[in-house]
Amino acid sequence: MNAQLSDLARAAQELSEAVTRPIPGSRKVYAQGSRADLRVPLREIAQADTPTLFGGEKNPPITVYDTSGPYTDPDYRVDLAAGLPPLRAAWIAERGDTERLADLSSSFGRQRAADPRLAPIRFAATRAPLRARAGANVTQMHYARRGIVTPEMEYIAIRENQRIEALAGSALLDQHPGQSFGAALPRLITPEFVRDEVARGRAIIPANINHPESEPMIIGRNFLTKINANIGNSAVSSGIAEEVEKLVWAIRWGGDTVMDLSTGRHIHETREWIIRNSPVPIGTVPIYQALEKVGGVAEELTWEIFRDTLVEQAEQGVDYFTIHAGVLLRFVPLTARRVTGIVSRGGSIMAKWCLAHHKENFLYAHFEDICEIMKAYDVAFSLGDGLRPGCVADANDAAQFGELDTLGELTQVAWKHDVQVMIEGPGHVPMQLIKENMERQLTKCHEAPFYTLGPLTTDIAPGYDHITSAIGAAMIGWFGTAMLCYVTPKEHLGLPNKQDVRDGIIAYKIAAHAADLAKGHPGAQVRDNALSKARFEFRWEDQFNLGLDPDKAREFHDETLPKDAHKSAHFCSMCGPKFCSMKITQDVRDYAAGHGTGEAQAVQEGMAEKAAEFRAQGAEVYRKA
C-alpha cells in the first residue's frame, strides 16, 4: 500500500471511532416527503418527564436541524473509500437535462484521474462527470424561475421546519414578542416559499449536479442562519486523512457548509475525498489551485489556466466558488494607505496580477464566460470580498465599498444567466459600523444573500478571535446576513486543529441561533424554552443534551458533582444547595400554593422566611462551595 492509501486507511479507522459515538441523548429520525426517496434527516432529543415535585408532566422530544449526515445514523456503515450514497442522483437524472461525459474535460483532472492512487475509490464523478446538455441550464434558480418546485426545494422546506408542527398547542412554541422579521415570515416554510426565494435571488441552494451525495440546504435571510467551516491543508501541515476527519467533525458540531481551502500538495485528491464523503455543500476558492499550477507566481496566471481549474472542480462536484471578480484595477491604489492593506488571499493574488499586467482583473473581464460554466453544473457564486478590511481601522473604506458595489453589478449579470449568487463580506468591523455593511449590501447587491467572515469587532485578542468575531457575526446575522463564515481561536496564528474547529463552530452556532431568535424565525425559540424548562426543573441530563455541546456541559458539571445522584440534585456547585435561585423560586411558588396567599404577598413572605434561613446558614454554605 503506498503512503497515500495507508494515510487514508488510518483516516477510516480514526473516523469510525470519532463519529460512531451517538450524539448524547438523541437519535436520528427521518421526515418523509412526498416521494419515497425524499427522507429528511433530523435529530430528535429525548426529554425526561418533569419530576413529580414540579408537576410530573410529559415533555415532548425536541427535533433539531441536523447537519451531521449519515455518519450519526447507527444503521450506516462508514466506508470512506466508497463515499456516501448518491442521495440526489435520481432527482438529477429525472430532470433529463444532463449528460454523462465519457471523460473529464479539464487537462489537470484527466491527469489526476489516471493516477493509480485513486484506483480503489468509487470516484464516479472523477471518471464520468455530468454536465448540462447543450443549451440546458441546470441551476436551481433556473428551475425556480420557471415555476418548478424541485425535490431539493421540498427537502429544504421540511428540513427548515424541524417538525415544529408536532408541537402545536405547546407552550414551547411561544416566542418572545417584538422580533424583527417575525411578522413577514410564514408560520411554516413551504416548498413554494423556498422556490420563490430562490427565483428572486434572495436565497441559494448550493447543489452541484456532480455532488449527488449532498443533503439539500438553503442560504437566505428568510431561513435559518447558516454557518460555514473552513478546512484544508497548507504547504506546511495536515494530510488528506486529517482533512476528511475535520469535515466529519465539523458537520457533527453543526457546520452547514464546509470550504476546502487546501493549498499545497495533493490538492485535487484531498478535495475528491472530501466531496465524496460530504453530505454538506463544499465551497472552494479556485484561484488557490490555479496559483499552484503556475508555481505560486501570480503574474503567470491566465484566464485559460483558471478556466481549466473551474471545469476541473465543477466536474468533481464543488457546490460554490469564491470568485474575487470585484477586485478592480482602479480599487487597488485605494488600499495603499490602509493599516493592513489587502488581507484576502484571493484578493491579494488578483491585485498583484492586475498591477503586474496593468490590466483589468480577468475574473471581471471573463465574468460571463464563468457564468456559462456555473450554469452547466449548478455551481453557485460566492462573490469574494478581496478588499475586505483586515483591521477595525480599515473598516468601511472606499476600497471595501467600491468592491461591494461592483459585486452588486456582477450579481445582476449572473442572474441574467439564472446563476445563483451570494456575496462575501468583511472581515474586521467595529460594532458601530456593522449595520451600514448590511444595509449597503442589501441595496447594492439586490438582496442576494450575504455571507460574512465574522466580522471581528476588535483586533486585540489573538487566540480568542472566535469570540471577537462571534460578537460581530451575531449582530450582522440579526441584521440579515444569511451565512456566517466561522473564525477559529487559531485565526491569525496557525492552521486550526480539531479542537479549534469545534470551538469555532460552537461559537458560530451561538451567533447564528441568537440571530434566528432576534429575527423570529418560526420555532427558533423552541429549543431555548425546552432547555430553560429542563434547567428550572433540575433535569440535568436534558439540560446537557438540549445544548449545542452536550459533552462539554456534562464534563463541566461533573468536574465537581460527578455522582449519578447529582443528575437530579436541585443545585449545582456554583451556588451550592442553599443558594440556588431556581430552587428558591420553586420554594416560593410552593409556599404561595400552600399558604393560599396572593402571589405578591407570598413572594414577600417566602423571601422573608428564606432570608432568615440564609442568615442562619449562609456562612457555612459559602465555605462548602
Name the minimum Å distance from CB 453 to ligand IRN.
Answer: 4
**CB closer to ligand IRN out of 142 and 345:** 345
Q: Are 386 and 342 in contact (CB under 8 A)?
A: yes
Strand partners, 100: 130
Kindly tell me which of 162 and 230 has the beta carbon lying closer to ligand IRN. 230
Minimum CB distance to ligand IRN smaller for 50 or for 309: 309
* Closest by CA position to 528, among listed 22, 192, 62: 62
Report the distance separating Cα 356 and Cα 208, nearest Å. 34
Is 242 marked within a binding site? Answer: no
* Residue 459 assigned as binding residue: no
Question: What gap in Å lies between CA 181 and CA 480, rounded to an integer?
Answer: 9
346 is in an annotated binding site: yes
Q: Which is nearer to ligand IRN, 194 or 207 (CB)?
A: 207
Q: Where are the alpha helices (DSSP H) in 366-464?
A: 367-377, 398-416, 434-444
- The answer to whether 276 is a known ligand-binding residue is no
Cβ-based nearer residue to ligand IRN, 66 or 403: 403
Contact of 216 with 205, CB cutoff 8 Å: yes
Residue 371 among known ligand-binding residues: no
To the question of whether residue 428 is assigned a binding role by annotation, the answer is: yes
Do the annotations mark residue 65 as ligand-binding?
no
Taking CA 550 as the corner, what is the angle to CA 548 and CA 554, rounded to the nearest 5 degrees?
140
| Residue 217 in marked binding region | no
| Cα separation, 131 vs 208, whole angstroms | 10
Q: Report the nearest approach of ligand IRN to the CB of residue 511 (Å).
A: 14
Side-chain-facing half-sphere of 474: CA atoms under 13 Å: 17
Establish whether 344 is an annotated binding residue: yes
Is 268 part of any known ligand binding site?
no
Instruction: Kindly tell me which of 508 and 544 has the beta carbon lying closer to ligand IRN.
Output: 508
* Residue placing its CB nearer to ligand IRN in the complex, 392 or 546: 392
State the residue for C-alpha cell 432527482: 91
The DSSP secondary-structure symbol of 133 reads P
Q: Before 347, cis peptide (omega within 30)?
A: no
Residue 424 is labelled as binding a ligand = yes
Taking the complex as a whole, the smallest distance from the CB of residue 344 to ligand IRN amounts, in Å, to 3
Which residues are at the interface with ligand IRN (CB under 6 A)? Answer: 230, 259, 261, 285, 322, 344-347, 382, 384-386, 424-425, 451-453, 485
386 is in an annotated binding site: yes
Nearest approach, Cβ of residue 423 and ligand IRN (Å): 9
How many angstroms separate the Cα of 366 from the Cα of each of 146, 363, 404, 414, 491? 27, 5, 18, 12, 33
Q: Which residues contact 589 (CB under 8 A, 6 or more apart)?
A: none
To the nearest 10 degrees (0 to 180), the angle between helices 581-595 and 599-624 is 140
Q: Which is nearer to ligand IRN, 415 or 451 (CB)?
A: 451
Q: How far apart are CA 314 and CA 320, in angstroms?
A: 9
CA distance 421 to 201: 7
Q: How far is the CB of 384 from ligand IRN (least distance, A)?
A: 5
We find the least distance from the C-beta atom of residue 383 to ligand IRN, in angstroms, to be: 10
Give me the least distance between CB of 230 and ligand IRN, in Å please: 5
**How far apart are the C-alpha atoms of 257 and 117, rounded to whole Å?**
27
Among 373, 374, 404, residue whose Cα is nearest residue 388? 404
Residue type, 29: V
CA distances to 16, 216, 442 from 156, in Å: 28, 6, 24
To ligand IRN, the closest distance from the beta carbon of 545 in angstroms equals 32
Q: Smallest distance from the beta carbon of 608 to ligand IRN, in angstroms?
A: 56
Nearer to ligand IRN, 201 or 384 (CB): 384
* Residues flagged as binding site: 230, 259, 288, 324, 344-346, 385-388, 424, 428, 451, 492, 572, 575, 580
* Residues flagged as binding site for [4Fe-4S] cluster: 572, 575, 580
* Residues flagged as binding site for Zn(2+): 428, 492
* Residues flagged as binding site for substrate: 230, 259, 288, 324, 344-346, 385-388, 424, 451
